[in-house]
Structure 1
């Protein structure tokens, strides 16, 4: 049974189109044009093509961010994935924690990453809910009114590894060197940040949950829910850089095997050529080796 953990007024989402200039050595992007609402942005997310995946100039509909989140638990290595039912594509995928970048954060997309992790990744212990910290900065606590925080324990995020080629917003290098790609089917620029999640020692009863949101059209409210009976966060086991094909949920400090049916991986794990990904999804579990 799901539990509503927040009721919030829907924020009017605004972003901008993104001008992308790519060369074999670097990708540079610049927000352009008037602010776009969510529906206007979606209208622009139509398939595009480029002649050379390593060198091109293009204006895309929007920018999104994802987090390649690694975790070591009980001396085993995992990647954190979220299940998403995509009605438009008529498929079921496991994806990275991700979100659209609003206009005011297009020049500092790492802020969007921190918000998405705080909003989507819920960690419950026997002593309360864990707040996250990135280096010396505490993450937001969007549900603290209903999910009381642990006073003793928190989790830590650190940068895991940097991409080979830099990404610039105008003339400024993005910190943490995310991987970048233009997803041709959705005409969007995507940034993937690689991070390590470190859970606290001696923290009993850890459970990992996902916060999902949907609109209550009658009350014009955004409802945020979590569900103990239907885990939406999965830990994909990795061994020597390769996926074992095993999925788990973390419940009360124990790894529980999960076997979702007919799953794919999202396009962030599909083959990338230069700065371009052409596929709408990726095979499970082979795509995990591309992270």
Structure 2
């Protein structure tokens, strides 16, 4: 039976639409207009047309962040993907850990990205759950009241190489150089941070789980389901049809039949991504031909 970890009032979330100016070398965004609640933001996430893909000025519904999280397990690198039932789009996809950026962090989206990792990527050991650090800073422990933490060990996050093109929040260039794309079907700007997840070398029998928020009866609920870990390891080398979960220190094959990946795996044209999602088989074929 799934276990409820946290309950939140969605009315506390506020964000703002964005004014965006893009050139071939850089993209600049800044907040625009009055704050929006969650429902108002979703109302603005409607299909948008932009041309050309390198030079444009537009207004977007919101800023989102994703984390392309790389884990080295037994000498092989994997990206960590989570399964999400996307209520606003009526589909189910595997995607990067991601979330919406609130108004207070629009100029510090890395903070939101780290919060999303702490909320969505759960590492269990026989002696408790792991907290995390980014550099010298402890990550928040949003499920600390429900999940007892390991007294000795924690995981570490560190930045990998950033994107070549700069992204600016107003006059400030963003640290860690995230990849950026404008998603036309939802009129949103998405930033993708490349980070590495490092587990303690002598950690025994780790298991990976995903916790995602779902809106039910006006409340945001975060659940843990041991029967459906919903956090997957995708090899960064030739993936073929390989997809795994990690339970008690062992990899278990996961089925890929009928799997769809989120738009971040689709082809990007300049700053633009036009697809809602991409079929697993199509993405694997593209990787082989690259």
Partner secondary structure for residue 36 of structure 1: coil
Deviation, 1:211, is 1.0
With over 3 angstroms needed to count, the CA separation of the structure-2 counterparts of 1:260 and 1:88, relative to structure 1, is farther
- 1:132 maps to 132
- 1:247 maps to 243
- 1:70 maps to 70
Question: How many Å separate the matches in 2 of 1:60 and 1:116?
Answer: 22
Deviation, 1:12, is 1.7
- TM-score, normalisation: structure 1: 0.94
| Contact 1:265 1:285 (C-alpha < 8 Å) held by counterparts | no
| Contact 1:93 1:263 (C-alpha < 8 Å) held by counterparts | yes
Deviation, 1:8, is 3.9
Deviation, 1:11, is 4.9
Alignment of 1:1-291 (within 5 A): 1-87=1-87, 89-217=89-217, 221-239=219-237, 242-284=238-280, 287=283, 289=287
Question: How many Å separate the matches in 1 of 2:137 and 2:172?
Answer: 22
1:146-181 C-alpha deviation (Å, 9 max, x unpaired): 211111111111111110100001111000000001
**What's the Cα RMSD here?**
1.8
Partner secondary structure for residue 189 of structure 1: strand
Deviation, 1:142, is 1.0
Question: How many Å separate the matches in 1 of 2:10 and 2:88?
Answer: 22
Deviation, 1:221, is 4.2
Number of residues paired by the alignment? Answer: 287
Deviation, 1:16, is 0.4
Partner secondary structure for residue 205 of structure 2: coil
Question: How many Å separate the matches in 1 of 2:229 and 2:274?
Answer: 30
Deviation, 1:49, is 1.0
Question: How many Å separate the matches in 1 of 2:105 and 2:139?
Answer: 16
With over 3 angstroms needed to count, the CA separation of the structure-2 counterparts of 1:17 and 1:7, relative to structure 1, is closer
Deviation, 1:214, is 2.7
Q: More strand by proportion, 1 or 2?
A: 1
1:27-70 C-alpha deviation (Å, 9 max, x unpaired): 00010100011111111111111121000000100010000111
With over 3 angstroms needed to count, the CA separation of the structure-2 counterparts of 1:247 and 1:204, relative to structure 1, is same
Question: How many Å separate the matches in 2 of 1:8 and 1:89?
Answer: 22
Partner secondary structure for residue 119 of structure 1: helix
Q: Structure 1: which 5+ runs fail to align?
A: none
Q: Structure 2: which 5+ runs fail to align?
A: none
| Contact 2:84 2:212 (C-alpha < 8 Å) held by counterparts | no
